[in-house]
Amino acid sequence: MNFIVVGANHKSSPVEFRERLSLSKSRLKDAILFLKERSVLEGAVILSTCNRVEVYASTRESKAGIKEIEDFISRYYEIDRNRFSHYLYRYEGKRALEHLFSVACGLDSLIIGETQILGQIKIAMSLSEKAGFMDETSFEIFYLAISFARRIHQSTRMSEGKVSVGSVAIDFIKEKIGGLTGKNLLIIGVGKVTELVVKYLEKERSNVVFISNRTFDKARHLAEQINAKVVRFDEVKQYLVKADVVISATASPHFVIKKETLSESPNHKILIIDLALPRDVDPVVGDMENVDLFCLEDLVTVIERNKEKKAREATRLKGIIDREADRQWQRFTKLEQEVALLR
């Protein structure tokens, strides 16, 4: 048995490609069942986040398994292989294990040291289990990765400081407009990203309004934490024109802010931060007068500072991951050989 991964992340592909591959939780279930239809893979986990879409799998034949995953991407998303092949990385054996460890620890993330990825891995693993597509090898490897990442978070300084999307976004906004005190801030969407934003807004003296469509009660709960107002999505236009800053982070598969949503160019400067994937805001909105539009990958100044601060710790962690992956893969190889002898 071998372990493989085929995927694309923020380093290997543009946001437009990752948008095309991005999967909501409901679509993720459908994609797993679609992948399961073919018999080459023994088990698989699909990890889809704002920074990556990856398929991890156990297979008896690595080349056939990698080809199967590429076929899945082509068939499921209806994309010609020649249009996406160059965006993909393909790892097998110890290298695939090493990559999973790096992802689980937050070392391969856009924001180095972030811990949200660990919860996303658990969800992806759980969905594969429920679909009956988690074999013994995949289960053990993912269990190892999760346990290893927990130890790393406890024993290193990688997760210290501001390592969430929320903290990066707030720091970026402050740099752009000089602070949030007295500013009208509009937050669209209620989810994990919004929760992280709220955590860093508690000390700010801004006028915050939450916009929510489906999970209104959750929006109200978050609003209460920072004494903010909450309204439904059909009121978005009237609050957009009043906003100084807009943070959008929904799970919508379509744009929630288009050029016509603003009706016409606002008469004051509006800073819009789009933290969603697929993106919430039509890129043409950024061409409007008085509108500055940024997505997560644009927050490079804050992200690079974070990388610089953690460069030494990251180098040390790479060494730890390499040694652990090597040790675990040798153990797997030895077990495979022992099982083969017993057959």
Indicate which residues carry an active-site annotation: 50
Helix H or strand E encompassing 56: strand 52-59
Half-sphere exposure of 11 (CA within 13 A, CB side): 8
Rounded CA gap, 28 and 46, in Å?
7
Phi, psi of 83 (to 5 degrees): -85, -15
Q: Distance of CA 217 to CAs 11, 28, 209, 212, 224, Å?
A: 37, 25, 14, 9, 11
Cα 249 → chain centroid: 12
Helix H or strand E encompassing 187: strand 184-188
The token duo for 52 is: 């990556």
Reported residue count of the chain is 343
Residue 197 · residue 249 · CB < 8 Å? yes
What SS3 class is residue 55? strand
Which of 245, 241, 238, 236 shows the shortest CA–CA distance to 274?
Answer: 245
- Cβ–Cβ contacts within 10 Å for residue 129, how many? 15
